[in-house]
Amino acid sequence: MNKTLIYAAIFTLTMAVSVPGTYANPTLQSDKSPHVIGFMEFPQGIRHARILRHTLKIEVPQQSKAVSQLIIQAPSNIILRDSIDISDQSGKKVDAKVSINGQKATLVFAGQVEPGTTLTIDMNKVKKTAPTNGDKMYKVSAVLVGINAELPVGIAQLRVS
């Protein structure tokens, strides 16, 4: 009887930890515009963690225009810091001026991000002001070269699992 309870508890805990607490969706399912392809939270599955790293992956497809800026709007329970690292698919650092204004991070690239690039954006030392309660979303938009407007490129969602 005790073994059965122990095995049941281990199975339940394993299943609870293995369900991802985050996911990302592009705004448009298109190969002609940049879009969010991934989101990770570290440490993952710890609901009450206070200092985290959130990582976004954004693809700029071959048929897209180049990207000059990214704008990331954080959920209400997240405080962003200016400790943001950006790299491309080869791991090479991408230079950008980072500015934080409340819940909004603006990344202005030193040179345009060319089509065919996948960006990894590590938002380090992100602070949670309260446990994730329900769904909380990062909203991501981009400014493309030749278009002077913010275009939505996707959402990244924190979930309570």
pTM greater than 0.75: yes
pLDDT of residue 110: 95
Residue in the structure block whose two tokens are 């991934």: 38
* pLDDT tens digit sequence for 16-47: 443 444 444 444 446 788 999 988 888 765 55
The C-alpha atoms of residue 7 and residue 160 are separated, in whole angstroms, by 24
Residue in the structure block whose two tokens are 């980072």: 98
Percent residues over pLDDT 90 in the chain = 53
pLDDT of residue 44: 67
